């Protein structure tokens, strides 16, 4: 473990047990003995501070709870009124006529996400492999900042770009209005590249160099090493990255609403307009009232649950992966 090596010189450093209160060192003297080495005032102060920090850390938990609480409170009446199955399974979203089915929206969101992943995933993994294995340091100086800058561009700017530049091109090349899955896929793919690429690169970097050297020593080409050794070794990290990218794609609103076309049907072609879980909220909220508004909060709950499922999936897969190795 890196603990026992001096980070600067690499020499091994003997394990020392200096601070009885530090959680890093073991074994340590039993608590009662520790208490006797410091004054009560200091102990109380340290304990108070620790609890303060703990409270701060728990703000995150409080946040999740609050989101569930408030969004849930606003949204649950629609489930009560229409029924969970009708809401989730109903194909018709015509709130003005009391039809509150979001299945169409769910399907559309999935379609958008899968396509974006199919394009952005390989692009991102390729870029990550480039950064980690193929690039010269000078190339790295160009490409890595590019990835980080891509991550920083606000989603509304992506949407704006899609609206004013990409849509006319798609319309010109493929006919129709230029809205639709194809355009959304293009924009979303570029948006999830930084998410997936940075994590994939991290995963690749944490594969020990020894493995690479062993592979080359056996006569493998770079590509063979990457494809048969490194990518499988970094599999868990890559899957995590992809799931995070999926979460980002399905939760994206601003970029999608400007290029999707917003028709409340399942599109019968990749150049036809469609509406998703996220865009329905942003389009309907300005004038929604009563049940309609409640239904939109219901959609928000569904989105929140979907994103938490993704997070849970990552944890489960990571744990499973660690168990395996």
Partner 1 sequence: MRLRRNAALVAVAITLVLAGCGGSASGSRTSLTVTGSTTVMPIAEVAATEFEAANPGKRILVSGIGSSAGIEAVTKGTCDIGTSSRDLKPEEQSLGLVDIKIALDAIAVIVNPSNPVTGLTKAQVSDIFQGKIKNWKEVGGPDLEIGLVNRDEASGTREAFSKFVLGTADFDPTAAVLPGTGQVRAVVAQAAGAVGYISLGFVDPSVKALSIDGIPANETMVGNGTYPLSRYLHFLTKGQPTGLAKAYIDFVLSPKIQDSVVRDAGFLPVAEGGK
Partner 2 sequence: MRTRERMNKRVTNAIALSVIWLAAIATVAALGTILIYVFINGIGQITPSFIFTWPHGVNMEGGIWPTIQATIYVTGLSMLITTPIAVLAAVYLAEYAVQGRLVSTIRFAADSLASVPSIVMGLFGLAAFVEGMGLRLSVLAAALALSFLLLPIIVRTTEEAIRAVPKYIRWGSYGLGASKWQTVSRIVLPSAMPRITTGVILAAGRAMGETAVVIYTMGTMINAPISPLDPGRTMPVHLMLMAQEGINMPGAYGTALLLVLLVLGFNLTARFIGRRNRRMQG
| Tally of CA atoms within 13 A in the half-sphere of 31 that contains its CB | 2
Is residue 205 packed enough to be buried (19+ CB in 10 Å), middle (13-18) or exposed (0-12)?
Answer: middle
- The binder of 60, among partner 1, partner 2, none, by C-beta within 5 to 8 A per type, is partner 2
In what helix (H) or strand (E) does residue 136 lie, and over which residues does it extend? none
In the structure encoding, which two tokens stand for residue 41, read together? 């005032």
Least Å distance between CB 318 and partner 2? 11
Binding residue (CB under 8 A) for partner 1 from 224, 262, 307, 318: 262
DSSP 7: T
Of 163, 167, 177, the C-alpha closest to 272 is 177
Percent helix, strand and coil across the chain, each rounded to 5? 75, 0, 25
Binding residue (CB under 8 A) for partner 2 from 12, 14, 16, 27: 16
Beta strands in the chain (DSSP E): 93-94, 99-100
Q: Is 78 in the site for partner 2 (CB under 8 A)?
A: no
Q: What are the residues whose beta carbons fall under 8 Å from the beta carbon of 38, sequence distance 6 or more? A: none
Of 218, 229, 219, 244, the C-alpha closest to 133 is 229
Least Å distance between CB 151 and partner 2? 8
- Site track for partner 1 across 264-283, x = CB under 8 A: xx-xx---xx-x-------x
Q: Is 173 in the site for partner 2 (CB under 8 A)?
A: no
**Whether 179 contacts 188, CB under 8 Å:** no
- Cβ count within 10 A of residue 90: 17
Q: Is 171 in the site for partner 1 (CB under 8 A)?
A: yes
- Site track for partner 2 across 24-63, x = CB under 8 A: x-------------x---x--xx--xx-xxx-xxxxxx-x
What is d(CA 45, CA 52) in angstroms, rounded to the nearest whole number?
A: 10
In the structure encoding, which two tokens stand for residue 282, read together? 């942003």
Of 78-117, binders to partner 1 (CB under 8 A) are 96
- The binder of 165, among partner 2, partner 1, none, by C-beta within 5 to 8 A per type, is partner 2
Binding residue (CB under 8 A) for partner 1 from 201, 240, 252, 284: 284
- The binder of 171, among partner 2, partner 1, none, by C-beta within 5 to 8 A per type, is partner 1
DSSP 234: T
Q: Is 131 in the site for partner 2 (CB under 8 A)?
A: yes
**Whether 299 contacts 105, CB under 8 Å:** yes
What is d(CA 73, CA 298) in angstroms, rounded to the nearest whole number?
A: 9
CB closer to partner 1, 79 vs 93: 93
Least Å distance between CB 296 and partner 1? 13
- The binder of 146, among partner 1, partner 2, none, by C-beta within 5 to 8 A per type, is partner 2
Of 124-163, binders to partner 1 (CB under 8 A) are 163
Binding residue (CB under 8 A) for partner 1 from 152, 175, 210, 219: 175
- The binder of 214, among partner 2, partner 1, none, by C-beta within 5 to 8 A per type, is none
- Footprint of partner 1 on this chain (CB under 8 A)? 96, 163, 167-168, 171-172, 175-179, 261-265, 267-268, 272-273, 275, 283-284, 286-287
């Amino acid at each position: 473990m890196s603990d026992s090596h001096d980070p600067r010189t690499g020499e091994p450093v003997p394990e020392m047990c200096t601070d009885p209160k530090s959680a890093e060192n073991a074994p340590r003297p039993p608590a009662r003995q520790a208490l006797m080495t410091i004054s009560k005032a200091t102990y109380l102060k340290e304990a108070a501070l620790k609890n303060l920090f703990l409270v701060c850390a728990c703000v995150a938990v409080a946040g999740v709870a609050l989101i569930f609480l408030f969004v849930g409170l606003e949204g649950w009446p629609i489930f009560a009124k229409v029924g969970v199955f009708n809401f989730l399974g109903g194909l018709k979203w015509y709130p003005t006529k009391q039809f509150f089915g979001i299945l169409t929206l769910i399907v559309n969101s999935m379609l958008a996400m899968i396509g974006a992943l199919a394009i952005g995933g390989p692009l991102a993994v390729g870029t990550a492999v480039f950064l980690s294995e193929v690039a010269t340091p000078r190339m790295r100086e160009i490409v890595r900042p590019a990835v980080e800058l891509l991550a920083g561009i606000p989603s509304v700017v992506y949407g704006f770009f899609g609206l004013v530049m990409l849509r006319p091109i798609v319309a010109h090349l493929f006919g129709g209005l230029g809205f639709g899955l194809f355009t959304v896929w293009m924009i979303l793919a570029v948006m999830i590249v930084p998410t997936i690429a940075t994590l994939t690169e991290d995963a690749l970097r944490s594969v020990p160099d020894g493995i690479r050297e062993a592979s080359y020593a056996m006569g493998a080409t770079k590509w063979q090493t990457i494809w048969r050794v490194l990518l499988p070794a970094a599999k868990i990290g890559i899957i995590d990255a992809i799931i995070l990218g999926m979460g980002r794609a399905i939760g994206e609103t601003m970029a999608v609403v400007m290029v999707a076309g917003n028709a409340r049907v399942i599109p019968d072609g990749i150049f036809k307009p469609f509406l998703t879980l996220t865009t329905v909220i942003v389009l309907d909220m300005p004038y929604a009232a009563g049940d309609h508004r409640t239904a939109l909060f219901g959609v928000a709950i569904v989105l929140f649950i979907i994103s938490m499922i993704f997070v849970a999936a990552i944890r489960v897969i990571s744990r499973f992966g660690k168990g395996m190795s």
